[in-house]
Amino acid sequence: MSRIRDTFLELERSGECAFIAYIMAGDPDPSLTPPIVQAIAQYADIIELGIPFSDPIADGKTIQAASERALKAGMTPDKIFELIAAIRKETDIPIVVMSYYNPILHFGIERFMKRLSEGGGDGIIIPDLPIEEADDVVRYAKENGIDTIFLIAPTTPEERIEQICAYSSGFVYLVSLLGVTGARETISGVVRTLIKSVVEKRPDIPPAVGFGVSKPKHVREIVKSGAKGVIVGSAIVELIAEHKDKPEVMISALEEFCAALKAATRDR
C-alpha cells in the first residue's frame, strides 16, 4: 500500500480532508526548498513539488514566475531527486511531483520513475499527458511504486472520466474551473458534480480538488462538497514570492497560512 493511500485512509478514519500543498521546487532558491517543506509539512498532509519548466501551459502568472525564479536559481529535474532525498530525511509526508511531460521524456521515463522512487517520492502528476499516451508512464511508475495522478476538468466527458479513473492511483485531481492555475475569489459550482461522478465510477480512489483554491472558506466549501482532498498552490507560491528576500518572515507566514487551511479541512 502506498504512502499516499495510507494517508487518505488515516484521514478518513479521523473525519478529515487531506490538505495538499503545492510549491515550486527551487523557488526562490533550491537551498530553501527543504526548510519550506518542513514548515508546511507541520500542517499539510501531502506535499506537491513542481519541477520548473520553460513552457508551463497549465499554470497562471504566479506559478510561471516561480518557475522562472527556480530555473534562474539553477533548478533541474536531476536536482529534484536530491531535494526529495533531503526532505525525506526529515519527514515521512507523502511527496508528489508535478512535471510537464517534456522534462520526463528527455530524462527517460523509466529512469525518472526509478530515481523518484529511490529518492523517496510517492506520486507523479503530468498535466499535459493524455491517457492515450500514458501507458509507459503508468507501467514504469507502477514498477517503482509511484502513484500516477491524472486530472479531470469540468469539460471532461463521462466516458473519459471513467478512463482517467482507471488509470489513476493515489488520488484523482479534479480541476475546479476552466483556465490556468491561480488564486480566485470563488469556487465553481461544478465541483460537486465532478466529485459525484468520480465516486460513482471509482469509489476506492479519493477525489482531490485544485485550481483557484486560495482561502480557508474555499477549503470549507470543497470539504462540504464531498472531496477527500484540497490542493492549494498559487496562494502558497504568492507568499513565497512576497517574502523571498526574507526567509524567516516567509517561513512564519507560510506556517500561519497553512495552519488556517488545515484547520478548515476539519470543518464539516
Residue 248 annotated in active site: no
**Contacts (Cβ under 8 Å, ≥6 apart) of 193:** none
Please state, in angstroms and rounded to a whole number, the distance separating the CA atoms of residues 22 and 56: 15
Considering 16, 27, 45, 59, which one is annotated as catalytic? 59
Considering 16, 27, 45, 48, which one is annotated as catalytic? 48
In terms of Cβ atoms closer than 10 Å to its own Cβ (0-12, 13-18, 19+), residue 14 is: exposed
Residue 122 annotated in active site: no
Please state, in angstroms and rounded to a whole number, the distance separating the CA atoms of residues 253 and 234: 14
Of residues 24, 56, 51, 17, the one with CA closest to residue 40: 24
Please state, in angstroms and rounded to a whole number, the distance separating the CA atoms of residues 233 and 211: 8
Q: What positions carry a catalytic annotation? A: 48, 59
